[in-house]
Structure 1
Amino acid sequence: MAKFITLENLTYFLGKVKGWVTGLGYQTSEQVNTAITGATAKLATKEEVTSATADMATKAWVGEQGYQTASQVESAITGKGYQTAGDVSSAISAATADMATQTWVGQQGFQNSSQVESAITAKGYDTASSVDGKVAAAKSEMQSAIDAAVSSVYEPKGSVAFASLPSLAAGIVGDVYNVTDGFTTTENFIEGAGKKYPAGTNVVCVTDGDAQKWDVLAGMVDLSGYVQTSDLEAVTNPEIDAMFD
């Protein structure tokens, strides 16, 4: 299992190293300077010189055994690539900031608005404006087809009241009448009985099997089965989020 060093671990480690070096008798540069200044302030006696010589020999021996001064230890630690408390703190801060970047978010599977838009488009869903456009195009195409059929087959016969429509017969197939008053269809209509239409509705005589019936061409169109614009509502962000749960 991989391990990492914390700021507390590093501080404790450095304290142990400094304590160990101090325990060997090594001194800081400030302590050495103080000792030298004190030594020059007085005349050394023979005994002191002898003692100093012995002390120098001892220090030389300590060095020969591989012991190092505080400065040497510090250089060795730096050379190994260990970091100070400040360096470790900066590295942790940088890593924490990186977690909030777009790369990290992307690795968790989250998507940006462009990716969500692409996913919705791939599903084939339509927006409210797209639905309105398709409905309008379908109505236009239907009307064009009706107009073309009427102009090539039907024959206008003028305006009459509903009660004055002529009797159905093979001889009036294709005749178109403008009904001047509102009416309710009977069994004589292709649409079936009970459908209400306003004044100004056009009807035509058509063949239905072996019989003739009236067929409503224009007037009030029943759009109850269509979705109204007011019934359409834009998809919300939470709904989009739910698609990816």
Structure 2
Amino acid sequence: MANKYIDLSGLTRFLEKVKGWVTAQGYQTSEQVEQTIASKGFETTTGAQAKADAAKAAAVAEVKELGYQTSAQVESAITAKGYATASSVDSKVGAAKTELQQKIDAAVASAFTYKGVKATKAELPSEGNKTGDVWHVTADAGEYAWDGTKWEALGGNIDMSAYMLKTDMVAITTDEIDALFA
């Protein structure tokens, strides 16, 4: 038997069914709640947002009318005096972070040194190794790294047979979704 999953069209159908069930139970949609709130003379979220936007616009206009400087004007004045602005500091910090990440990446990339391929683990050299030397062993398809005293397995094959294949998945049908609400 195939395993079922819900695809986009199934999810849309499921949501329609849930909304229908919620309405049938006597619950209201968000639109109905907004209408009820407005009919009682209370402020709706839409109305409150509009009032907040209007208040913000009025405050900005008042600041401009009083002659206060905008953030762009303040930034221009700071730059003219030779001081660093927030954006220039952020730019320098970003550049420093990028440079640091590149150095970290280079250090991590050089942590291991690939040495080659051996048929078995027994063939790995016991002398002349440096910490971080890595060999691939074909017998177990594994990688081994020298830790300074011995060879340590870095990994190997992973048995994926217990995982589900995409071909084992079948989208749930709209009839099956309808049956959930029957």
TM score, norm. by length of structure 1? 0.26
TM score, norm. by length of structure 2? 0.34
Larger relative contact order, structure 1 or 2 (CA cutoff 8 Å, min sep 6): 2
| CA radius of gyration, larger in | 1
